Chain A
Amino acid sequence: MKISLDWLKEFVDIPWSAEEVAERLTMLGLETESIEKIQCTTDKVVVGQILKIEKHPQADKLTVCTVNVKSEELQIVCGAKNMKEGDLVPVAMIGAQLPNGLKIKKGKLRGIESFGMMCSTSELLISEESDGLWLLPDTFKVGDCVNNSFPIEDTLFEIGITPNRGDCLSHLGIAREIAAYLEKPLKLPSTDFKEEKESVDKKIKVKVEDTDCLRYTARVLEGVRLEVSPVKIQLRLNRCGIRPINNVVDITNYVLLELGQPLHAFDLTKIKSNQINIRSARAKEKLQTLDDKELTLDKESMVIADADKPIALAGVMGGKESEVNEKTTSLLLESAYFDPSRVRKMSRSKALISESSYRFERGVDIENVAFASKRAAKLLQDVAQAKILKGVVDVQPKKWTKKKIKLRFSRIPKILGCDIPEKKILSILNGLGIETKTKNKDGVEVEAPTHRHDLSLEIDLIEELVRFYGTDNVPTTHPEAEVRPIQAKPEQQTVARLNQAALGMGFNQVLNYSFMAKKDLIPHFIPASQFDQNSLALENPITEELKYMRPRLLPSLLRTAQYNLARDNKEIAIFESGSTYHPNSKGNGQTTERPSFTLLMSSKEPKVNWKENSLSADFYDIKGISLSLLNALNIFDLNMIPLKDSVYHPGQAGAWVSDKKEIAYVGQIHPLVLKHFSIEPPLFAVEIFLDLIPYKRERLNKLRPIPKFPKVSRDIALVLPNATSEQDVRDVFNQLKSNLLENVSLFDVYQGAQVPEGMKSLAYSLHYRSQDDTLTDELVEKEHQKICQVLKDKLGCEFRA
């Protein structure tokens, strides 16, 4: 909130500069976010009287005025229209610098010389807007400095008040903190006024039925003259961010900013039977609020009602019908205490937030309720000539009990790590109005003041102590070390290993939002017909584009690819680790999060440059990459089966199966999916579903001895129908029971002139070795022939020379 230094100084003598005030408040936990200094050469802004207004010979929109400022008569060219001869106006003379930064110099406007400027309220930063000159009331004297009547200069602080400190939402509250820090007395404003003989009881009856109203005071004022507020009140309201309306409304707002107590003034004549009931609303009761909304009320709503109907939503907003207007002469002035959480509930459910509700829901000072009412009455008498009926109706159904708190001195070093001298403890508590009830050598028992709703536990008091003792005075130490084993969790290791492997292969890590647009999910990732049951939508998304929790990482990565391609970043080699989010299939509102890893690659392999720019990646490259990634997780027992997923190319995609689970998808992205993302094919992806992967430590196999004897290799080329997969061949090799065949490696795949149509040739090297002996040709030949025969029998293949 905005706090005026000039206003603060009415409550406490402050010996500090504006910067020191800001620094001090900040270190007390009242974060001063900005300092705005309003400066003006006040001796050069004086009251002038317009003697003569003449048309400007060259310009229709300008006039030439003669203005008497007592010491001289000035000729001033003016663009305003709202003045007449005889009016008093503020005049900025040559050499003046105005709060908005304007410097006044002798000037010539369309050929006529001008010696100064007549000012509007906005030019003096009294209001944000203005139309025309500020016409001063006749209490101002010609030639006087305008500043003599009210201070133009001030410093405004923007202070961020945390939600626990409702007591600081006023100048009084901030001043109380400063006074406590300075150990100086707090000066309260005057509440002196004259009362009429007639008693308030005769004019108004108050009945509190709803127990969430803990105190209600009503005062009656008559003969009120509704008009514009004095300049000082307007100025302060404006500078603190509240628009002045009329003297009555302005004074309730002024007291709100001054003392933190929300007040409301009703037009007394609109209160049926002069009866005020504070009660829960009846079902379907209606209330037209001040801001012209029609509310339909319910039992949750606490209302101020007259004999008939609600006239205000308690603590939130007044009703239109009982609003003060230009015909109003008698007022009912309400000052009350409503339960914080009840007000908050009403304010939220009706989507109405006001200066009042903001303070009530943070808790106002129940003891301050009557004082604020008196203060407002005094100001209304001073400013609006109000006649104040004798006494006040003050209903407090339940006595407020102040919270008692025990503070053990030994707890202070136990929590803070340092001692605070007992004398200092007592002076801090005292300064804050925390009254010590009993005291012994071990501690004190205190009573929390009524304005401090945040004080109820011992720790709350310790916080107050450290706030005023200063965190800088707490030493900096290290916890006493206890040796505890720290073991990274398996899941964390899995992700770290995958990330490291992908980085090692040249892929960049990306981070996308966890939410995305519906249009990127339909139809390829979730079919339109099943969208509602299979998607997880935010109730209050930032935008439609960020509404759906992503069910897969792939669509985000495709968006990232498209974003980069559109910016001429041609090489796509990226990966992301993160969660995917899924509604529970049972439709019970439960959700699941699945850890996932996805990698995306364009046909240009990562980090390939001038030397190899003709190389292009294909399915086998992404397959190799996926294998390396899974190997990095110590997963070696892997099989690839064809993948049926509409996101992928039907003929160039596979799923890695391990332990009977499809743990990863690999392949080329379907051209139709790419088309949706405006990407030219091809693009290849690996998706690894980490929740399906058991964490595996490194395999601890015993070392096999390095062979002592040489190997013998024989090459064969098998001619097979195209439909036979390489896996079929490998299965045969794997099932062979040969002591001599050490391993088999595929070294060529050929289709073309040398083999018949519809056939392909797979060429393998078979490596033979014995652990005990150097093999003889004879022995190898015998074994090789045996193996060839098995291949022929099982696969029906021919051999190529």
Chain B
Amino acid sequence: MNPSIETLREEASKKIAAASALEELEQLRIDYLGKKGSVPALMQSLKDLPNEEKPLFGKSVNELKGEISSLLSDKKDELSASVLNEKLQDEKLDITLPGSRYLLGKKHPINKVMDEAIEIFKGLGFSLEEGPEIESEYYNFEALNIPDNHPARDMQDTLYLPTGSLLRTHTSPVQIRVMEKQKPPFSFIAAGKVYRHDADVTHSPMFHQIEGFLVDQKTTFADLKGILETFLNQLFHKKISTRFRPSFFPFTEPSAEVDISCVMCDAKGCRVCQNTGWLEILGCGMVHPEVLKSVNLDSEEWQGFAFGVGIERITMLKYGIADIRLFFENDARFLNQF
């Protein structure tokens, strides 16, 4: 082994290993491998050697050249990586600052609960129907077995428009409108705004209802209990106890108001349920023969149930909202919580 080659190899590998910057490394490349560098200089000395030594020496110098370039290249990768690392370190951000833009808006809680209810009923096979908010006495009352001059009219304080039209007091007129246009069997819900002459902490002159309606040749009161229990369990995401309290609606019979076990206190008794453990949540019943008669359906052949749910009431219970007026003030600090 040629001593000068060995010396150079050792020196080069030390210096390359010690290099700390890319510029320094470039200088070492020039020093060793550049045109006037040490390795080409060694190659120059080849011509002065005896012929028999030339092949071996030449091979050794070439090997040395190879080794140095590979050391240089490895070192270059190493130094580049650390330079990039430093640069990335400099770019470090406070990732805890808030993200900006591209945030979703908030659905109004009433629409949120209404959409949820609609989805549940879709899954149970109910389609969605609509009807006008400005209604006639006929659809809002008479066809629903609420004759003029009947005390049942007092159950719903009505807002009137000129020439006898009115703002619908419930979504039930949609029952009549759908039955007039389509053929039985029916299974639909109707959702939307309804109006009453009423305004306080728990009553709003405008509120939202979902009406459910199922008429075929065999649906029973027991089925009504089943559908409503399924709906309530899904809506409140837990097992809800119900009681069907006999009541009166002119357009259903038998009629019932449905109470659920208080969701605020798990029926232990609290202010919201007035210590009864029960919350009144919706009205329902079997469609009254008079209602079927008003659309020329024979109640011997067709039967089924109807129910009406107040969305504000359910939303208030779901989110612990005490004042119904909050829904219509649209304060951003309210809306942003949903």
Contact = CB atoms under 8 A, between A and B. Distances in A.
A563 B331 contact: yes
B97 interface: yes
A446 B122 CA distance: 43
Contact of A477 (B106, B151, B199, B226): B226
A94 B259 CA distance: 46
Interface stretch (B59-67, B70-78, B127-135): B127-135
Contact of B214 (A479, A578, A591): A479
B245 A505 contact: no
A166 B335 CA distance: 45
Given A478-B223, A511-B328, A610-B98, A492 B130 contact: yes
A611 to B, nearest CB: 4
A606 B223 contact: no
B132 to A, nearest CB: 6
Interface stretch (B2-10, B155-163, B264-272): B155-163
Contacts of A513: 205-206, 328
B246 A503 contact: no
Nearest to B336: A508
A72 B54 CA distance: 146
Interface stretch (A232-240, A409-417, A641-649): A409-417
B123 to A, nearest CB: 9
Interface string A454-494: 00010110110011000110111111111110111101100
A345 B152 CA distance: 14
Contact of B165 (A502, A560, A569, A591): A591
Contacts of A499: 107, 111
Contact of B193 (A467, A477, A514, A610): A514
A511 B161 contact: no
Contacts of B329: 563
A482 B127 CA distance: 13
B149 A163 contact: no
A29 B167 CA distance: 29
Nearest to B134: A591
Interface stretch (A183-191, A266-274, A533-541, A737-745): A533-541
A491 B130 contact: yes
A158 B329 CA distance: 34
Interface string A554-588: 00000010011001010101110011010000000
Contacts of A414: 218, 220, 303
A502 B105 contact: yes
Interface string B195-233: 101010000011000000010101111110111011000
Contacts of A481: 125
Contact of A579 (B133, B161, B163, B223): B133
A471 B243 contact: yes
Interface residues of A, number: 96
A771 to B, nearest CB: 36
Contacts of B248: 29, 162-165
Contacts of B218: 414, 479-480
Contact of B161 (A28, A471, A536): A536
Contacts of A162: 247-248
A489 B125 CA distance: 15
A526 B220 CA distance: 52
B35 interface: no
B185 interface: yes
B330 A512 contact: yes
A474 B230 CA distance: 16
Contacts of B223: 417, 477-479
B286 A415 contact: yes
B177 interface: no
Contact of A511 (B253, B255, B327): B327
Interface size class of B (residues with CB under 8 A): 35 or more
A287 to B, nearest CB: 21
Which of A416, A463, A541: most chain B CB closer than 10 A?
A: A463
A509 interface: yes
B330 A560 contact: yes
Q: Is the interface of B mostly helix, strand, loop or mixed?
A: mixed
B107 A509 contact: yes
B310 interface: no
A539 B161 CA distance: 5
Nearest to B286: A415
Contacts of B253: 459-460, 462-463
Contact of A27 (B195, B221, B246, B328): B246
B58 interface: no
Given A414-B220, A478-B223, A29 B205 contact: no
A569 B288 contact: no
Contacts of A491: 130
A511 B330 contact: yes
Interface in A266-304: none
A164 B110 CA distance: 33
A506 interface: yes
Contacts of B243: 27, 471-472
B159 A563 contact: no
Nearest to A541: B159
B256 A471 contact: yes
A656 interface: no
B222 A507 contact: no
Given A471-B256, A511-B110, A542-B205, A476 B101 contact: no
B221 A474 contact: yes
B245 A29 contact: yes
A593 B131 CA distance: 10
B177 to A, nearest CB: 13
Nearest to B154: A163
Nearest to A411: B300
Contact of A417 (B101, B221, B245, B288): B221
Interface of A: 26-29, 31, 162-166, 340-341, 344-345, 348, 361-362, 413-418, 457, 459-460, 462-463, 466-467, 471-472, 474-484, 486-489, 491-492, 499, 502-515, 536-542, 546, 549, 560, 563-564, 567, 569, 571, 573-575, 578-579, 581, 589, 591, 593, 605-612
Given A463-B254, A486-B122, A606-B103, 20 more contacts: A27-B243, A27-B245, A162-B247, A166-B151, A344-B151, A414-B218, A415-B221, A417-B222, A474-B221, A474-B244, A475-B222, A477-B225, A506-B105, A508-B106, A509-B108, A513-B328, A569-B331, A578-B193, A606-B105, A607-B100
29 contacts: A29-B247, A29-B248, A344-B151, A348-B149, A414-B218, A460-B253, A462-B254, A474-B225, A476-B222, A477-B220, A478-B223, A482-B216, A489-B130, A502-B105, A503-B105, A503-B106, A504-B104, A505-B105, A509-B107, A510-B330, A511-B108, A515-B205, A536-B161, A539-B162, A542-B205, A560-B330, A564-B331, A591-B165, A612-B101
